Structure formats: structure tokens, C-alpha cells
Amino acid sequence: MIAVLKSGTNDKQIDNLSSWLKAQGLDVHISKGSEHTVIGLIGDTSKVDAELIESLEIVESVKRISEPFKSANRKFHPDDSIIQVGNTSVGGNTFAIMAGPCSVESEEQVMEIAKAVKKAGATMLRGGAFKPRTSPYDFQGLKADGIEFLLEAKKETGLPIVTEIMNANHLSLFEDVDVIQVGARNMQNFELLKELGKTNKPILLKRGLANTLKELLMSAEYIMAGGNENIILCERGIRTFETYTRNTLDLSAVPMLRELTHLPVIIDPSHATGVARLVKPMALAAAACGADGLMIEVHNDPVHALCDGAQSLTPDAFADVTHSVKKVLKALSED
């Protein structure tokens, strides 16, 4: 970590700062330039509070050289992490395909979709039982019943299930859930992350709408610091000024995270774009740039059927996506 001091800082101030830094167990290298003094901090700086140092009046800016995440850092764990999920896995050479309805609406619905997505190549079933909605007046999910229905579908199809948690107090309901999802709005709900760190369940951690990749990895670090290293990262679009798409899918996150971390990275093109017609091209792009999997919304419910389509895909359209994704993966594996 490097701290650049303001011009005009006097020696006494530098000595004071330097003593205080040393008291925290760091080595300190001071190099005085013509105008600015630069202090290099050497040692385990992951526990140094950069914000605090930057807030000091004599400090112009602070720059981390080592990343502040440790457990998630590829530097200390060069091999890809492979997250075991039931009889399948995420990461390494497996390409995970999680598919299912946005919300669980009934046992029939989820059962029918589960069978359809399994047939079309899904490796896991996703479905929302607890739904984070912007408005308190919108449907909040079937909750415990929704999880029940997912478990029934799992029993029938063998597909492991992925569903979102919004409250650590609900953890007991998730005992038979295979992957617990943390939604974008809860990515920095640190209390929830800490509780999930105490479990040994695979966690699907979605990037927040306005969170940097570094913050995503720090949130993974919260879970890992508690002892649970089974984390799957998920990019699902970030908030920008563009309005034709609901969010802007940041696909560069895939190769960038690949470099920074050993954790697997999947893409959710349904939420990222909010437009069914864009799901296939973005799923292909995700596969081509090295993602470890996809999370895709598939529906069969009457409201959507009524109007012949929706943000989520029909089972047939989904089958078409998995078919093409496999072509891309195959072509590149022969690379």
C-alpha cells in the first residue's frame, strides 16, 4: 500500500504518521520527492483500513498494490475452485446451466418447468420462493411453500435446486436447498453474508447493481472469512444510463474475475438485459468469453403464455439456447 502525502506536510507530521503505522505492525518506507512524500507500507495490508488513512488531513491519496481480498485471491490459490453441488458441480470444466421460473407460482408450474429444462440440458433448477421486490405491494413469493415445491421437483427430476435467501432467520428452511442465492440488493448485507459464512452450503453471490468487482470479491471474502469457501459469483448486469436494456451486462467481468479469483463465475442474461430476445445472444457471448455457466429464466405460466412470450424464455427457446451454447463450447474446447 502506498500513501501519497500532501505537499507541505512537515517532518513532525510524517514522523507521527509513521510511528502510528509501525504500531500497527507494518514496515514503513519513506521516500521524499521534490514536492510530495510517498510512504510505502509493507506487510499484511489486507487488514489496514485504507479509508481511515485516506481520511487523514496530510494524506492526498492511498493506493493499494496488493488486493485487499485474500481467501478469494487467485494469487494464493492458483487452481480453479470447483464447487460441488449434489451430483454436479460448478467451475473447472463443467458448464453449469441453472434454469427455471423467476417466481415459483405452484407445484404444477415448477414441476412442469423442471422436467422441461432438464430435458433441454439444464444442470440445476432455479426458482424464487422469497422475492425481493422494489414495491411492498408487489408479489413477495410463496416463501416456505415455494421451497417445498422446488424440493418436490428436485425429488422428481434429480436436479439440484438454487433459490434466494433474504433473511438469515429463514436459514432452517434452506436445509435441503443445494445452492443458496444472495441477490444483487443483498450483496452488501454483511450480516447475512456472515451468517452464510457459518454454513457449508454453496452460495451463489450476485453482483450488486452498482458494485465494483472488488466489492463483489470483498463480499465473497465476508463469507469465506467465516469458513465457507463454496462460492459461485454471478454477474447480472450493472446500472448505467442506457435505457433500451434493463441493466448493462458487464461481460468483461468474466475474464477479469478469472484473473483475480479462483472462484467460478456465471452469467445471468435474463436479469441483465430484461429482454427475452437478448437472452440467446448474451448466453452465447458468455460461453464464448469463458463463463462457468448460465442462469436463465424459463416460464410456462399462463399469464405469459397468454401473450406468447415474456422476459423469460419458453422451454423450446431455452432448448435452442443450450443447443447453440454447446456448439460454442465445443468449438472453443477444440482450440
Site for its own copies in 201-220 (CB under 8 A): 208-210, 212-215, 218
Hey, which residues between 228 and 267 contact its own copies (CB under 8 A)? 238-245, 248-252, 254-256, 259-260
Q: Which of 22, 25, 61, 92 binds its own copies (CB under 8 A)?
A: 61
List residues bridging with 86 in a β-sheet.
none
**Any contact of residue 121 with its own copies (CB under 8 A)?**
no
CA distances from 110 to 61, 85, 144, 158, 264 (A): 53, 20, 14, 13, 27
The answer to whether 250 touches 238, Cβ cutoff 8 Å, is: yes
From the list 88-96, 152-160, 172-180, 279-287, the region that binds its own copies by CB under 8 A is 279-287
The gap from C-alpha 36 to its chain's centroid, in whole angstroms, comes to 40
**Any contact of residue 56 with its own copies (CB under 8 A)?**
yes
Describe the crossing of helices 213-225 and 253-260 by its angle, rounded to 10 degrees: 40
**Number of chain positions touching its own copies (CB under 8 A):** 116
Q: Which is nearer to its own copies, 38 or 111 (CB)?
A: 38
Q: Which of 49, 145, 175, 316 binds its own copies (CB under 8 A)?
A: 49
Hey, which residues between 67 and 86 contact its own copies (CB under 8 A)? 68-69, 75
- Find where cell 485471491 sits: 73
Nearest Cα neighbor of 246 from 237, 234, 254, 255 is: 237
CA distances from 119 to 115, 133, 150, 163, 313 (A): 6, 31, 17, 20, 15
Q: Which is nearer to its own copies, 126 or 154 (CB)?
A: 126
Q: Which of 78, 79, 137, 172 binds its own copies (CB under 8 A)?
A: 137
Q: Which is nearer to its own copies, 58 or 115 (CB)?
A: 58
- Find where cell 463450447 sits: 329
Q: Which of 179, 272, 294, 295 binds its own copies (CB under 8 A)?
A: 272
Hey, which residues between 12 and 31 contact its own copies (CB under 8 A)? 13, 16-17, 20, 29, 31
* The residue type at 51: E
**Any contact of residue 317 with its own copies (CB under 8 A)?**
no
**Any contact of residue 125 with its own copies (CB under 8 A)?**
no
> If 0-12 CB within 10 Å is exposed, 13-18 middle and 19+ buried, where does residue 23 land?
exposed
**Any contact of residue 303 with its own copies (CB under 8 A)?**
yes
From the list 40-48, 89-97, 113-121, 147-155, the region that binds its own copies by CB under 8 A is 40-48
Hey, which residues between 88 and 117 contact its own copies (CB under 8 A)? none
**Any contact of residue 55 with its own copies (CB under 8 A)?**
yes
- 72 CB-near residues (< 8 Å, 6+ apart): 217, 220, 221, 224, 231, 260, 261, 262, 263
Q: How many angstroms separate the CA atoms of 247 and 85, rounded?
A: 29
